[in-house]
Amino acid sequence: MDASSGGAEEVMTQNSGEGDIPVPEPVQEPVEEDKGRMLMDAINSNASLHPDLMMEQLIKDFKLAADLYGERILRLFTGYPKDYISKNLNIPEFRKEISKKMKQKAQELKEENLLDKRYGITNEGLEAAAHALLVEELNNIAPKGFFGERDAETISPYGQQTDAAIYKRGDRYKDIALKKSIKVALRRGHTTLGVEDLRTYRRSAKGKACIIYALDASGSMRGKKLEQAKKAGVALAFKAIQNRDDVGFIAFSSLVKGKVTPTNNFQTILHALAKTRAGQQTDFTQCLKEALTLFPAEDMTKHLIFISDAMPTVGEKPEEDALKEVLQAVGKGITISMIGINLQDETKNFAQTFARYGRGRCIHAKKLDELDHVVLEDYEMARG
């Protein structure tokens, strides 16, 4: 059967009956930002983009595979929405068609240097994923007005802002003029910010605090939780660096998976967030020990923000060990807040104790799409 000559409609005829799903419109070739989002989804879910492995998983357990890959990856690789694939996957001709499409799409991504020979994500692919993460979070948080950006001609407490210029590759992400970028997008009739809408400027520095964002990257955070926690990290870094504060980052599971010494380089934080993948268990103690080595010795506001959906699980007495490290941090002038995601009662009690020992705040984020707001609120409170 020739998939390009009405193959999907023929499949639908073979599988006709009550409850059939109409043949969907073909998916248009994804733009660069869509490819970046797809790669970001794969990183967040620890999903392989090897077409043969994808097909094997879809056939073996479609529900599990669909949860792993999500709508965006499946639609961009096969050309069909998840429900339509589920309805027709048992038809041999349809399997051949989507298998062929997945191989073609994977080959295209390799030719664009977004995937390597083994279908792993390349550095260029990571750059695309990081950029997509940034644009998506800016679009999400800009309407909420959390950044409080001033017009370019006003005097900022942190210095005089220069006129905005068109964003170019290589410009610092922290210099994005969000309000002006939104105005450009609106004038052009765009409903979301695109790369072509972005404008940038610089401000002179004045005043500083040091914030470290500690992200739980254990197995339970895989998928949507990790995605939203990364976006919250983007919002925090963007806001803090605009305020001329330094931002550090630690990703941890059963070990520290990645770290960034506090910096004013937004791109460094963005890339560290983007490439973070979910691991296994949750070791708070090791994360806290690592954080203590990252904070500077200077006398300034030092604040550690923990993002987690669980309790510590590594060590003989993981909770007791973690609280001892919290007290060590407080003794060095560091405050610690805990932002919990969908916490159970036992976990909630530990989170409250953790934050109380850390002289910070304990916030239970029940809605994932509000996580960025919660993180920014905690940052502003710590900054004073």
For residue 133, being part of any structural domain is answered with no
User: Are 375 and 226 contained in the same domain?
Assistant: yes
Of 121, 153, 171, the last residue of a domain is 121
Query: Is pLDDT at 8 greater than 80 in this prediction?
Result: no
Q: Note whether 94 and 219 are same-domain residues.
A: no
pLDDT at 364 over 80: yes
Please tell me the distance from the alpha carbon of residue 271 to that of residue 130, in angstroms, as a whole number. 6
Domain assignment of residue 138, yes or no = no
Judge if 107 and 217 occupy the same domain: no
Least reliable range by pLDDT among 26-30, 131-135, 290-294: 26-30
Residue 235 and residue 17: Cα distance in Å, rounded?
A: 48
Pairwise pLDDT comparison (150 vs 49), residue with the higher score: 49
* Mean confidence (pLDDT) of the chain: 81
Q: What DSSP line would sit under 309-371, residue for residue?
A: SS---SSSSHHHHHHHHHHHHHHTTEEEEEEEES--HHHHHHHHHHHHHTEEEEEEE-SGGGH
For every residue of 180-219, DSSP letters joined together read HHHHHHHHTT-SS--GGG-EE---------EEEEEEE-SG
pLDDT digits (tens, 9 = 90+) for 30-44: 455 688 999 999 999
User: Are residues 223 and 364 located together in one domain of the fold?
Assistant: yes
Residue 230 within a domain: yes
Output the CA–CA distances (angstroms, integers) from residue 192 to 137, 143, 159, 179, in the order listed: 11, 10, 29, 13
Same domain, 232 and 104: no
Q: Where is the domain boundary, 65, 100, 121? A: 121
Domain assignment present for 25: yes
- CATH assignment of the domain containing 234: 3.40.50.410
The residue segments making up the domain with residue 326 are 210-383
Q: Write down which residue in 84, 105, 121 finishes a domain.
A: 121
Domain assignment present for residue 40? The answer is yes
Q: 359-365 and 334-341: which strand pairing?
A: parallel
Q: Residue 202 is encoded by which pair of tokens?
A: 């610089």
Least confident piece of the model among 163-172, 193-202, 252-261: 163-172
**pLDDT at 21 > cutoff 60:** no
Number of domains making up the chain:
2
88 with 231, same domain?
no
Spatial distance between the Cα atoms of 202 and 165, rounded to a whole number of angstroms: 10
Same domain, 223 and 367: yes
Instruction: Pick 27 or 221 by higher pLDDT.
Output: 221
Average pLDDT over residues 351-372: 90
User: With a threshold of 0.85, does the pTM exceed it?
Assistant: no
Q: Which residues touch 186 (CB under 8 Å, ≥6 apart)?
A: none
Q: Is residue 185 part of a domain?
A: no
Q: Which H or E run includes 270?
A: helix 266-274
Residue 193 domain-assigned? no
Q: Is residue 375 one of the residues assigned to a domain?
A: yes
Chain centroid offset of residue 139 CA: 13
Query: Mean per-residue pLDDT for 101-120?
Result: 95
Question: Does residue 246 share a domain with residue 114?
Answer: no
- Do 378 and 259 share a structural domain? yes
